[in-house]
Amino acid sequence: MLQETDTDLWLTYCRETTEIDEPCLPLLLGFDVVWPTMVLITKEGQKATIIGSHDAPNVNSLGVYDVYPYDTSLEDAFVDLLKEIDPNEIAVNYAEDNTIADGLTHGMYRRLEGLIEGTGYEDRLVSADEVVTRLRSDKSSVERKRMVRAGELTTSLLDEVTEKWEPDWTEADVADYVHNRMREQDLGSAWSWDYCPTVHAGADSEMGHTMAGNITLRPGQVLHIDFGVKYQGYTTDIQRLYYYPTESGEPIPDDLQAAFEDVRAAIDAAFEALEPGAVGHEVDEAARTEITDRNWPAYSHAVGHNVGRNAHDGGTLLGPLWDRYGDSPKGVVREGEIYTLELGVETEYGYLGQEDMAVVTEDGAEWFIEPQTELRRLTA
């Protein structure tokens, strides 16, 4: 990967990572560090870690790195390695628009500048954005296997909670049931536990990244659930819709069915545009055009994002060219990346949000989790 990106040296520099997370560390070491630590990897294949002596045994046990333990300062070991590697550029973990590539704090950046002062490498620090994006987006067979299992667990819990659902359940009751089952299975949440799952009970519920409240679902309304679990460090992110009939055997109202199909068509338009080489904002535009052509307002977010170690996993964003997204929508889609595609419309029945995950293949995309293609029913 470093050879493909012509990156001489990728340097990860961090400390006290239980307090301030370095997003790359789980993929480099697999454990947190206390003292200031450096992980250096070159495009020639040299791999080194400069780490406090108390943490060094953990690196030694990996059998991967040349390990340079220290007690008082890592400066001498770092400068010696820098001179040995002699990089034209030093890629470090900062990025303006990519959260997963922005682990180097401002304070640590200043410390790094102090370490290289007088070495001749002062002007060679560059962003490791592309390197980190590829590392997170290119899923190994182990990573994909964990995400497949996370998907199975997510859909199973959704099936279970909607089978157990009772008409007097509030949004909070739905969320509590799911949380209890997650605890029993030792599962984490794909985003903040407090609003994962996000539950909306019909038109009475306020849309957004909201915590489940005390609203019950009225007959003739739609239950909307946005949910994903974290299994062995990897997540999913999907949304599902369930209609609560006013009476047994009632057909789904025509206008509700039409709205559901409109959202489905817009997500399918994004899916058809998702292929290697596609630009993020172009995929978003395909969905945005489809939904507005069907006389719905444009949605106020990106249509899709990478999923992996987190529900929002950085890298290329399938979103519009808005200031809040920076350059992320200008990124290019690559084979092997796993995206979720999402949008919705507000109706008198509630928010009709659909979200499905897809993996980019050699010549297009395939659904990673079977999508919801029809409205499901709740039974009392």
Average confidence score pLDDT of the chain: 96
Query: For residues 234 and 143, what is the distance between their CA atoms, to the nearest angstrom?
Result: 7
State which fold the 9-136 domain adopts.
Creatine Amidinohydrolase; Chain A, domain 1 (3.40.350)
> 178 or 138, which is more confident?
178
Q: CATH number for the 138-377 domain, one of 3.10.20.740, 3.40.50.300, 3.30.70.890, 3.90.230.10?
A: 3.90.230.10
Residue 311 exposed, middle or buried by CB count within 10 Å (0-12, 13-18, 19+): buried
Q: Is 308 in contact with 136 (CB distance < 8 Å)?
A: yes
Question: Is the pLDDT confidence value at 47 over 80?
Answer: yes
pLDDT band with cut points at 50, 70 and 90 for residue 315: very high
134, 160, 233 from 169: Cα distances, Å: 43, 14, 31
For residue range 31-45, list pLDDT tens digits in order: 999 999 999 999 999
Q: Is 364 in contact with 274 (CB distance < 8 Å)?
A: yes
Give the pLDDT confidence score for residue 248 in this predicted structure. Answer: 86
Question: Is the pLDDT confidence value at 207 over 90?
Answer: no
Query: For residues 149 and 187, what is the distance between their CA atoms, to the nearest angstrom?
Result: 11
**Tokens standing for 99?**
């959260």
Percent of the chain predicted with pLDDT > 70: 100
Q: Which string of b and e fits 55-68 if b means at least 16 CB within 10 Å?
A: bbebbeeeeebebb
Residue 197 preceded by cis peptide, ω within 30 = yes
Give the pLDDT confidence score for residue 335 in this predicted structure. Answer: 95
For residue range 183-202, list pLDDT tens digits in order: 999 999 999 999 999 999 99
Give the pLDDT confidence score for residue 249 in this predicted structure. Answer: 84
- Long-range (24+ apart) CB contacts under 8 A made by 69-78 are 74/36, 74/37, 74/38, 74/50, 75/115, 77/50, 78/38, 78/50, 78/115
Handedness of CA 202, 205, 209, 213 (dihedral sign): negative
Provide the 8-state DSSP code for 279: B
Q: Residue range 305-319: average pLDDT? A: 95
Query: For residues 148 and 208, what is the distance between their CA atoms, to the nearest angstrom?
Result: 27
Give the pLDDT confidence score for residue 208 in this predicted structure. Answer: 83
For residue range 211-255, list pLDDT tens digits in order: 899 999 999 999 999 999 999 999 999 999 999 999 988 899 999
pLDDT band with cut points at 50, 70 and 90 for residue 278: very high
Nearest to residue 316, comparing CAs of 299, 336, 297?
Answer: 336
Percent of the chain predicted with pLDDT > 90: 96
pLDDT band with cut points at 50, 70 and 90 for residue 297: very high
For residue range 100-128, list pLDDT tens digits in order: 999 999 999 999 999 999 999 999 999 99
Q: Residue range 48-66: average pLDDT? A: 97
Q: Which residues pair with 367 in a beta bridge?
A: 358
Question: Is the pLDDT confidence value at 380 over 80?
Answer: no
